[in-house]
Structure 1
Amino acid sequence: MLTEWTALVCRELGIDPATVDRDEVLDLTKEVAHGVARPAAPLTAYLLGVALGAGTAPPDAVERLTALARNWERTTDTQGEK
């Protein structure tokens, strides 16, 4: 089902499915959902897509966002101490 949905959405949006790393995006959204908040997962995926489409996302954007999500509690705890 997921493969078929991905192919259908790519076709609808004019995206080459070969350029989509579905597992990487799913891993990112999993980390965000569990590390930050569930509603942050689709929002993060959307923002990543906007940045990629605009050409402003760094090459390692997914890795950086994943790291941010994994370290969310530590980051917010540290910022709260300032």
Structure 2
Amino acid sequence: MSDNHLPPEALDAWADALRERFGLAPDDVPIALILDLAGDVSRGVARPAAPFSAYVAGLVAGRRGGSPEDVRATVAEISQMAAGWEN
């Protein structure tokens, strides 16, 4: 395994470090929701679109108010777009 890859069991430790550094609550970093979004976009659009879409989801959810509900709603919208995406 490359030093640039995070093993699955270390994901929680990385998320905890980010939460601590930026003063985030566990609900502020919904790992499973973000990974599901990345998978939906990777399959429906293209793999390189996944991180970009996750960034956009965070930006839009923040502008909508930033609550966990705002995040879930924004992710759902982007996932629906990806499911129906046709180039």
How far has the Cα of 1:54 moved from its partner? 2.2
Which string of whole-angstrom CA distances, capped at 9 and with x for unpartnered residues, describes residues 14-43 of structure 1? 211233221111001111012111111000
Higher alpha-carbon Rg: 1
Report 1:1-82 matches (<5 A): 1-55=10-64, 59=70, 60-73=73-86, 76=87
Distance in 2, matches of 1:14 and 1:48, equals 20
Query: TM-score scaled to structure 1, two decimals?
Result: 0.76
Report the RMSD for the aligned CA atoms in angstroms.
Answer: 2.0
How far has the Cα of 1:64 moved from its partner? 1.2
Identity %: 34
- Return 5+ residue gaps in structure 1 as ranges: 77-82
Query: TM-score scaled to structure 2, two decimals?
Result: 0.72
Higher helix proportion: 1
